């Protein structure tokens, strides 16, 4: 029963996380990436602030400090760098690089000695990553910009570091407070970048307004909260492996929303990814 419930949480999380890229593409029709991120984090901060005040009038100082650090790593470095890398390399290559997060997280977990991983889990991650490559159909023989690749790698490494950091020192802090402070940090830090390098603001269309509200409520508040919960339940490296499923949901949602074509390789790769994730989830966790 517990494994079934965990599998459901993983599927819901992956679907939400993947939908951010599809829905975000709709918002990008009217605004630049940094403006979308700033508006997204500002509105999320207001809503989360109301929730935190209503439930916990006194802020947890440690949660504030950790939330700010998570905001710098997740909302600023990870999202900022990966979004900016799209100026140099294709979205497919960015997806493949971000899907390497489990390997970064595993390495960092070993370095910080916060978590051990079994051979079965490592094999599951490797199998899942091969499925991601098959599904995305990337041509590694093509020439890509080293600048874009470096930006995407740095962003992914930052996201993995935030994952390990939360698991190592923020297990018992309120998730809503952590999400609040990391959202506020993202808005404050990215605001001057959006101001100096973003496009002029225009009145939003119904589609872009709905897309931003979806990113705020479903992805930033719901998805990030679920992500932190999964780290708490399964550990940093194991939770990070769930991102291997994201490309499949991204392809399916893109076909439904953006009318992009589906390929047989998409489903073949998804089956391989599912097999890898089954190995990761079914493996017994080692005591830390």
| pLDDT tens, position by position, 170-184 | 777 889 999 999 999
61: pLDDT strictly greater than 50:
yes
Q: Counting beta carbons within 10 angstroms of the beta carbon of residue 172, is it exposed (0 to 12), middle (13 to 18) or buried (19 or more)?
A: exposed
- Backbone CA torsion sign across 238, 242, 243, 245: positive
Kindly report the length of the chain: 288
Average pLDDT, the chain: 81
Q: Which two tokens stand for residue 39?
A: 């508006």
Structure tokens at 82: 């990966």
Residue spans per domain, the chain: 2-282
Predicted pLDDT of residue 278: 72
Residue 52, pLDDT above cutoff 60: yes
Q: Say what the pLDDT of residue 287 is.
A: 46
CB 171 within 8 A of CB 232: yes
Query: d(Cα 93, Cα 111) in Å, to the nearest integer?
Result: 27
Half-sphere exposure of 98 (CA within 13 A, CB side): 29
Half-sphere exposure of 281 (CA within 13 A, CB side): 22
Instruction: Read off the pLDDT of residues 130-139 as tens digits, 9 standing for 90 and up.
Output: 777 776 665 5
- Token pair belonging to 118: 């079994």
Residue 3 has pLDDT above 80, yes or no: no
- Surface-to-core class of residue 188, CB atoms within 10 Å of its CB (0-12 exposed, 13-18 middle, 19+ buried): middle
Which pair of tokens denotes residue 20? Answer: 């951010």
How distant is the alpha carbon of residue 22 from its chain centre?
A: 13
Query: Which of 75 and 130 is assigned the larger pLDDT?
Result: 75
More confident position, 183 or 252: 183
Smallest Cα–Cα separation from 82: which of 25, 136, 148?
148
Residue 206, burial from CB neighbour count under 10 angstroms (0-12, 13-18, 19+): exposed
Rg (CA), the chain: 18
Q: What is the pTM of this model?
A: 0.81
Show Cβ contacts of residue 95 under 8 Å, excluding neighbours closer than 6 positions. 132, 136, 246, 247, 250
What the block records as the tokens of 122 is 């490592």
pLDDT at residue 1 in the model = 55
């Amino acid at each position: 029963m517990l494994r079934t419930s965990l599998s459901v949480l993983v599927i819901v999380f992956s679907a939400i996380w993947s939908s951010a890229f599809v829905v975000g593409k709709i918002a990008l029709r009217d605004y630049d990436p940094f403006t979308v991120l700033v508006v997204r984090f500002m509105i999320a901060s207001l809503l989360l602030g109301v929730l935190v005040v209503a439930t916990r009038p006194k802020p947890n100082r440690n949660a504030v400090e950790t939330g700010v650090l998570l905001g710098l790593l997740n909302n600023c470095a990870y999202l900022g760098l990966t979004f900016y890398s799209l100026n140099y390399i294709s979205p497919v290559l960015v997806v493949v690089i971000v899907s390497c997060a489990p390997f970064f997280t595993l390495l960092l977990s070993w370095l910080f000695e916060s978590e051990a991983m079994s051979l079965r889990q490592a094999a599951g991650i490797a199998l899942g990553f091969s499925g991601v490559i098959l599904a995305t159909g990337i041509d590694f023989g093509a020439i890509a910009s080293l600048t874009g690749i470096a930006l995407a790698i740095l962003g992914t490494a930052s996201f993995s570091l935030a994952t390990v950091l939360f698991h190592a020192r923020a297990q018992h802090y309120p998730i809503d407070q952590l999400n609040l402070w990391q959202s506020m940090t993202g808005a404050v830090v990215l605001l001057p970048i959006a101001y100096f390098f973003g496009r002029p603001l225009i009145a939003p269309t119904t589609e872009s307004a709905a897309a931003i509200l979806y990113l705020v409520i479903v992805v930033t508040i719901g998805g990030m909260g679920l992500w932190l919960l999964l780290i708490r339940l399964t550990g940093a490296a194991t939770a990070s492996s769930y991102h291997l499923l994201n490309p499949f949901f991204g392809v399916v949602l893109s076909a439904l929303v953006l009318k992009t074509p589906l390929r047989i390789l998409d489903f073949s790769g998804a089956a391989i990814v599912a097999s890898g994730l089954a190995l990761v989830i079914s493996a017994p966790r080692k005591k830390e």
